[in-house]
Amino acid sequence: MQNQARIRAPREHREIVGQALTKQPPAKRMMRQYDLVDRVRKYNPKVNEELLNRAYVYAMRAHGEQKRASGDPYFSHPLEVAAILTDLKLDDATIAAALLHDTIEDTETTRAEIERLFGKDIATLVEGLTKLKRLDLVTREAKQAENLRKLLLAIADDVRVLLVKLADRLHNMRTISHMPPEKRRRIAEETIDIYAPLAARMGMYEMREELEDLSFRELNPDAWEVVNERLEAVAERDSDLIGQIEQQLAKKLSDRGIAARVSGRRKPAYSVWRKMERKAVGFEQLSDIFGFRVIVKTVAECYQALGIVHTSWRVVPGRFKDYVSNPKQNDYRSIHTTVIGPSNQRVELQLRTEEMHEIAEYGIAAHALYKDGIGSPTEMLSRESNAYAWLRRTIELLAEGSNPEEFLEHTKLELFHDQVFCFTPKGKLIALPRNGTGIDFAYAVHTDIGNHAVGCKINGKIAPLVSTLQNGDEVEILTSNAQAAPPTAWESIVVTGKARAAIRRATRVAVRMQYAGLGRRLVERLCFRAKLVYSDERLTGALPRLARASIDDVFAAVGRGEMKAADVARAMYPDYKEERVGGTPAEPPKQESGWFGLKKAKALMFKVPEGPAGTTSSNEPIPIRGINSDLPVRFAPNGGAVPGDRIVGIMTPGEAITIYPIQSPALADFEDAPGRWLDVRWDVDDNARRFPARIAVQSVNEPGSLAQIAQVIAEHDGNIDNIRMERKSPDFTDLTIDLEVYDLKHLTSIIAQLRAKPVVAGAERVNG
């Protein structure tokens, strides 16, 4: 294991950490070529001086007269990024890439030119650090997510992209005071939400602490200043006590033959502030502002030192964690304990070896990545670092087709670093974020187990899957093949990105299967009516003519209304001619037609009498195409349908035609009666009328909750027809609300706004 230099801010920056934001670090001379080469030569005598000189000169010329917001030459930024990476003792190619990392994005330089001048390796690194330009995306979050996706995929190919990006963000945060206020806040939020947790996940705690401190100072300057002033005052007041504890610890260990290095350190301001918020306590109530590190030579000495500490001072119950026996996913290993030390002062201790300390401070950068003859950095790191292996698995999961907003949400969830450790019955360790549930545990074991989970045992006792897990719990997941897909409500319960992505994916698959099932019935029904022989083999042979990869793709397209059943029949039987419902041949329609060639006409719109829930509230016709009957048309009695739903008509001879959304479970009652199914669709252009829908809301039992729910619906232009209430527990009431909305988007918006209310525990659409 090579020794790694500490990640330190420039001295000018360190001197102003405790000062007001308005004060700026003193100006300093920009680093020269020979300065950079000398920094690399200190840890790499075989430095490729010619490569670094070429990269230095090229980047300086490419950026030319560009200036930073501070007025400094723009080239000073990539130069400082390279300097940060020399503190990590990185290879020549990474230092060169740091010098060039903004050239493709901010100058006329192309990837091809970088590859021609500096080789494919460096060109790939620079391209991985280049943001996507001209994104045709509406929201800033979507653009942010797509750039993050590109970055993470590049990191999966080469870890050095991550190290350069973190150094780039660190220097930007050190100089953020020159940016406009709105941009400063946006960058700080992104840093504390994504880049600081990413550094922590990679075990780079020192870099994480500085990123958090700089972000905290920007996002909440008053709190940052107050906490730092308190910490400085406590440090000055207790300076003698800190020295006393260090001396006593070192002496007790030395008397037992253990040569240990003991050092006390003050906790970072952001860590203290977050603990105050999480535990809802004041600064004066915190008793563990200082921590002490005991660094020994061997693992055996870690446990020997632990025994000495525990027999010398009383242990604080519940404050012992052994990350040597159970390392964190980011390779962090230490023993944590808290004792009542001298002067009855709580003392937090971390016991570790020198090697553990290297990894604890610098994470993946502490691994010997660039040994000659061993392979690429990524191959080397994949073998040595659990943290990087976790990152690559996470990236593979996140890259599976979710939209940009989902990707950003899942990434933030996966980067949370507060963890609990649980075990399977066979003793396998599963790490979950704090507040992880049995559902998260099931998906962490395997996606199929999560999809089929129906219950769990926690420490041998039956418990709900939504139970929050604690450190050391043994969890057994109970599964059933009868559960084909997880309940969609789980999505709002789980806390891991993997579980949330899997639930959404399973839901999409289940909906697709519903579409495919409906499409198959429509195609088979048409073939039966047209006296054509249907078979999967014949349809498989027709796939090229339909431009679909599988017969399931064809059926799903028919079910969604993207393809006509008649088109499928024509692909299988080229001589097939589309017929009207009545069976007489029809010429190709000259006007806009429905799915079976029915002409669009006012005659297809029928008056609906006023009636109970499920019919329209006025005497207006229902705008539906695809019906050739004098029967009245009505909506499904339990839930209705709204424009945007894929709909089906079910005919009751002599009575009426009922319109159902395709996801309605009531359609299962008609599977054995294909002759009653009608292919219909909405005839709505500029819709200014409302349609019936039903939602189920679980509200918290507290004064004013119903008023808040009604207010949300009213504020978003929904109209309540009826409310039914049922109290199933002392804490919650189930509401069934019949309302009128304009379309599916309108309904979805109202449900989303309801879910955001603290008095609402859950809100879902109901389809009868």
List pLDDT tens digits, range 506-529.
Answer: 888 888 888 888 888 888 888 888
**260 and 358 share a domain?**
yes
Give yes or no for residue 193 having a pLDDT over 90: no
- Kindly state the percentage of the chain with pLDDT values over 90: 13
pLDDT average, residue stretch 121-149: 66
Active-site residue, selected from the candidate residues 38, 49, 72, 106:
106
- Give the domain CATH number at 754: 3.30.70.260
Give yes or no for residue 471 having a pLDDT over 70: yes
The DSSP call for residue 193 is I
Residue 255 in tokens = 């008397």
**153 and 115 share a domain?**
yes
Residues 91, 372: Cα–Cα separation, whole Å: 11
| Residue 414 located in a structural domain | no
**103 and 233 share a domain?**
no
| Residue 200 located in a structural domain | yes
* Single-letter amino acid code for the residue at 163: L
pLDDT average, residue stretch 144-167: 74
Nearest-CA neighbor of 649 among 669, 667, 630?
Answer: 667
**167 and 254 share a domain?**
no
**169 and 283 share a domain?**
no
Q: What is the per-residue pLDDT for 374? A: 42
| Residue 270 located in a structural domain | yes
Select, from the ranges 134-138, 190-194, 456-460, the one with the highest average predicted confidence (pLDDT): 456-460
Structural domain ending residue among the three candidates 646, 663, 684: 684
| Residue 599 located in a structural domain | yes
| Residue 659 located in a structural domain | yes
Active site annotation includes 106: yes
Report the mean per-residue pLDDT for the chain. Answer: 77
Give yes or no for residue 129 having a pLDDT over 90: no
Pairing of strands 453-458, 633-635: unpaired
Sorting pLDDT into bands at 50, 70 and 90, what band is 181? confident
Distance from the first to the final alpha carbon of the chain: 65
What is the C-alpha R_g of the chain?
32
Strand partners for 698? 734, 762
**204 and 349 share a domain?**
no
Give yes or no for residue 596 having a pLDDT over 50: no
Pairing of strands 346-353, 290-296: parallel
| Residue 629 located in a structural domain | yes
Sorting pLDDT into bands at 50, 70 and 90, what band is 72? confident
Number of domains in the chain: 4
**711 and 590 share a domain?**
no
* CB-CB contact of 521 with 514 (8 Å): no
pLDDT average, residue stretch 199-217: 86
Q: Tens of pLDDT along 299-347?
A: 999 999 999 989 888 888 878 888 888 887 777 889 999 888 777 777 8
Residues 501, 273: Cα–Cα separation, whole Å: 32
Active-site residue, selected from the candidate residues 38, 49, 105, 113:
105
**677 and 714 share a domain?**
no
Q: What is the per-residue pLDDT for 316? A: 85
**131 and 183 share a domain?**
yes
Give yes or no for residue 585 having a pLDDT over 60: no
Sorting pLDDT into bands at 50, 70 and 90, what band is 145? low
Question: Any idea which of 218-227, 420-429, 689-698, 750-759 has the lowest mean pLDDT?
Answer: 420-429
Q: What is the per-residue pLDDT for 425? A: 86
Instruction: Collapse the DSSP code of 566 into the 3-class scheme (helix H, G, I; strand E, B; otherwise coil) and give the result.
Output: helix
Q: Tens of pLDDT along 570-581?
A: 889 888 876 544
Q: Is 527 or 471 the better-scoring residue by pLDDT?
A: 527
| Residue 533 located in a structural domain | no
- Give the domain CATH number at 350: 3.30.460.10
What is the number of helices (H) and of strands (E) in the chain? 30, 21
Q: Is 204 or 343 the better-scoring residue by pLDDT?
A: 204
Nearest-CA neighbor of 121 among 358, 378, 352, 459?
Answer: 378
HEC string of 691-742 equals EEEEEEEEEECCCCHHHHHHHHHHHCCCEEEEEEEEECCCCEEEEEEEEEEC
pLDDT average, residue stretch 45-72: 90
**622 and 719 share a domain?**
no
Structural domain ending residue among the three candidates 623, 650, 684: 684
- Kindly state the percentage of the chain with pLDDT values over 70: 77
pLDDT average, residue stretch 122-130: 86
Sorting pLDDT into bands at 50, 70 and 90, what band is 54? very high
Q: Tens of pLDDT along 248-303?
A: 888 888 888 888 888 888 888 888 888 787 777 777 667 667 788 999 999 999 99
The DSSP call for residue 496 is S
Structural domain ending residue among the three candidates 163, 179, 212: 212
Residues 283, 275: Cα–Cα separation, whole Å: 10
Phi, psi of 335, rounded to the nearest 5 degrees: -105, 125
pLDDT average, residue stretch 222-243: 82
Residues 693, 711: Cα–Cα separation, whole Å: 18
Q: Is 187 or 496 the better-scoring residue by pLDDT?
A: 187
| Residue 589 located in a structural domain | yes
Give the 3-state secondary structure percentages of the chain, helix then strand then coil, rounded to 5.
Answer: 50, 15, 35
pLDDT average, residue stretch 391-410: 57
- Give the domain CATH number at 139: 1.10.3210.10
**701 and 678 share a domain?**
no
- With a CB cutoff of 8 Å and minimum separation 6, the contacts of 375 are none
Enclosing domain of residue 79: 11-212
Q: Tens of pLDDT along 619-658?
A: 456 677 666 666 788 888 878 888 888 888 888 877 788 8
Burial 620-635 (b: 16+ CB within 10 A, else e): eebbbbbbeeebbbbb
Q: What is the per-residue pLDDT for 51? A: 92
Active site annotation includes 105: yes
Q: What is the per-residue pLDDT for 304? A: 92
**639 and 734 share a domain?**
no
